[in-house]
Chains A and B, each alone.
Chain A
């Protein structure tokens, strides 16, 4: 489909719940309760690794107000898994694997009673030797903290001929970078309410992945999905934090034992130190290029710390796809478990680490070659239509599996539009690099590698550029579906299981459905959280909300529209071919070329059916009948960010002075939503670049700064209010109305931009986060080296 003008898509309308949010009337998970509910609190382990030898709950149970105490003797011996290997374990199993791990839970009439009861539970522990770092966990003879062992099999991909390329490279650089664990620092906390009616469970909680919460309950409790209703409620900021979390499953089990609805609200410490975090990671790599600055090879070993229950073997490495100039390479990722809080996907997983390592090496090569960072990126990064070099082996495998026809899985009617697999479908960072350099006055402000363009005493100013990319969803965990229902009054509801956590999906998916249906935006609402209403969807994961669930939403809307037009053609328009009809702003009539001006509203048509004893239906349900064919092997989102910083070279303090973010996510469904996704990513990325680092106790692995006093995130005064966002809307033939993913590339671009800017201001590369102390220390070290 070529870009056409849209009625609703592309309009920067306020999000549907805007007025509720600014008036404080939106009901978040933490604002929700049910009648006669009890309150639960969770007992957490003081040990990083220990086995419960005995647990005595009698004193706790005897406390007035206490209704039930749940221990591992009450919970099924079943493993459950969170989306994309973010968790694998049992709800409780009598073994604590990190300080803060769930051990038991109490339901009582009041929170205070529950809290007091926790202190009355007596546990005899067998304290085990923990492994607190990936190095310890991977060492020979290390205690194995999981049945499956500490190490996941390495995820490896190779392309080209690495040995040859290495031998012939004119320049090569290496790195060994440790990336700290970032904390979601989820503002607004989360809560869960579980209620059983007979053997049917209803669970209310904040989640980006309502369908997956239902899956998790099914796996962990061993009950049929037909007896589970999940109602995902709005959450505060999430970024991967609130998917399916063990405390939700614990709430369900506690409620079953209590025989009463139970609510558990996590306090801030629990949110910051016991749920999830970004992996701590380490990149050891080499990269090389020829004398003209053409990248020739990348060789990378990357290790991720999964914490206690993360189970990932891969963090989504799209950087070699972005730097398609890397002609030969090898990259391995190894996931390792440690006795620290679980690590999982956080906005831009992999991009904020491996890709940042690649960007740094690319910058170092560019300096050696004598190329400007913008020019070096233009030389080596990908454009639409190019074949992904690094996906060679997967392409070969796919070719074999499909019998030589890569499009075999694509239905015939879609093949015309379907791009070549393993080739970039659309977009490129290149035009944004050129446009951005121009807008940011790059040539004025970049005066050479490691050189500030302005010096005032100890204050050095310099600019940096960074690039980021990400897939638009993953398709290996199931295909996302959606339903669009047209009500008798002519309004419609799109049921898309994506949750509500601020990314505006309740609005952008409504825009997609309204555009496809021909209804006005205020005639379409989205149900994003109820698993009885919504068919399975992956949820808001991996930047797939618009690309994949949006695709399904559009398909469902088109299906509903076709059903409606078939009825209208028959009942209202003398059996004309429905192709002659159109729906515009909720009115059905002939397409503009016709001279017939008859119009029927959608409700007219449906009411006609209702009044007719033989009418086919009184409402219409459209569904995405065919799953979205394979896509992740060709669709990408791109971000190019420019930043100016001022570094105080005596103290190491950094101020961000100027910012420009360019984004190519195809058609922008709602620019108001998108600008926030872009700038929000930039600010979260800068936070990670400058300050954010979860600190762990060296003896116990416990989180040391699980609070916002010492876990620093950027505030309005830390970011230039005049920052600009520019969209490059390279149209995608597959995404809904040409839209692709968006949420994760911006954070990926911000981090290397900041690193490069600091390098240009100071002449030193500083490890993350670039705290004042790290900058000052790096500068002192460089000064000593020079002497």
Chain B
């Protein structure tokens, strides 16, 4: 049973942020609230004030921007899975959104909520971090940008401070060949990721050489992490190297970055082993997409 709290329904961002400033830590921004409501129901979290963001519908959008796209923090996952995706990263976002929770919870759950919940197994978080997405944060002190891969500090803890609100995410769409992929291990068709990985490759103009590689891992550390060792193996290499066993070697190196724990969903050992498989599969998928696009 949820403990009692006060309810606020600001009409715009400024009002919301002012409320948060005044109410402090006792207050929580309530986007879709699908995670928060469970935390409150179970007693894991007690809040004194709910700042319901339902009225801030202008924070639900997907817009083209310079060098990429901006997605509003209140965009529900159900909108993301219906994305009319015309860039590689948006396609990945669309596919990842469709994996998350259930049809009827994706209609409430939001992009921003998923990031702010800061779960190391959050599907979208892992994918966005791999893409080099940038969180846009607004507070009374102004607006700042935080790379998504630096947004999660610990389970349930983000880089947001004080009155700050995550207002949206920028998804890069460089004008050179690039692609991304996400893979996870799950039990039934509806599940939380037992372990997950995402990879994103950006090529040079010729489309032959990997200019930038980003590999992220989910549910193998207290936060979504990057497999920097594996990234280094890829940077500067020809894309064609991914044919053959190289992808598996990179996967094995990525597994070295994983620091998983054993919990009721999976053992540390299995998680670590699967990082190798998933990263390799992400890389094969990305290289296949890039080869096809060239």
Contacts and interface: CB of A to CB of B under 8 A. Distances in A.
A and B touch in the complex (CB under 8 A): yes
**Size class of the contact patch on chain B:** 10 to 19
Interface stretch (A412-420, A550-558, A713-721, A754-762): A713-721
B185 A772 contact: yes
Interface string B228-256: 00000000000000000000000000000
Given A115-B1, A704-B264, A710-B264, A650 B192 contact: no
B277 interface: yes
Interface stretch (B16-24, B143-151, B266-274): B266-274
B277 A651 contact: yes
Given A651-B277, A704-B264, A705-B264, A715 B188 contact: yes
Given A650-B277, A651-B274, A712 B185 contact: no
The binding surface of chain B is classed by DSSP as loop
B187 interface: yes
Interface string A553-578: 00000000000000000000000000
A714 B264 contact: no
Interface string A695-727: 100000000110001101111011000000000
Contacts of A115: 1
Contact of A695 (B185, B264, B270): B264
A715 to B, nearest CB: 5
Contact of B189 (A112, A650, A718, A776): A718
Interface in A242-277: none
A112 B2 CA distance: 10
A125 interface: no
Given A705-B264, A710-B265, A773 B189 contact: no
A777 interface: yes
A718 B188 contact: yes
A695 B278 CA distance: 27
Contacts of B189: 715, 717-718
> For this complex, into which size category does the number of interface residues on chain A fall?
20 to 34
B191 interface: yes
A709 B185 contact: no
A434 to B, nearest CB: 34
Contacts of A704: 264
Contacts of B187: 690-691, 712, 771-772
A649 to B, nearest CB: 10
Of listed A771, A772, A773, residue having the most chain B CB within 10 A: A773
B185 A651 contact: yes
B194 interface: yes
Nearest to B191: A712
Interface string B38-64: 000000000000000000000000000
A712 B188 contact: yes
Contacts of B1: 111-112, 115
Residue of B186, B265, B278 with highest tally of chain A CB at under 10 A? B265
Interface string B176-205: 000000000111111110100000000000
Contact of B188 (A111, A112, A691): A691
A653 interface: yes
A101 to B, nearest CB: 20
Contacts of A691: 187-188
Nearest to B276: A650
B156 to A, nearest CB: 16
Query: Which of the listed residues A712, A713, A777 has the most CB atoms from chain B within 10 Å of its own CB?
Result: A712
Contacts of A776: 270, 273-274
Contacts of B192: 709
Tell which of A690, A709, A714 has the most Cβ of chain B within 10 Å.
Answer: A709
Contacts of A715: 188-190
A112 B189 CA distance: 36
Interface core residue of A713, A717, A771 (most chain B CB under 10 Å): A771
Contacts of A717: 188-190
Contacts of B190: 715, 717
A115 B194 CA distance: 35
A493 B185 CA distance: 53
Nearest to B38: A709
Contacts of B194: 772-773
A773 B277 contact: no
Contacts of A695: 264
Interface in B57-108: none
Contacts of B188: 691, 712-715, 717-718
A777 B270 contact: yes
Given A704-B264, A712-B187, A772-B194, 18 more contacts: A111-B1, A112-B1, A115-B1, A651-B274, A651-B277, A653-B185, A653-B186, A705-B264, A709-B192, A710-B265, A712-B188, A715-B190, A717-B189, A717-B190, A718-B188, A771-B187, A773-B194, A780-B273
13 contacts: A651-B274, A653-B185, A695-B264, A705-B264, A712-B191, A715-B188, A717-B189, A717-B190, A772-B185, A772-B187, A772-B270, A776-B270, A776-B273
A-B complex: 3 closest residue pairs judged by Cβ atoms: A717-B189, A773-B270, A712-B187
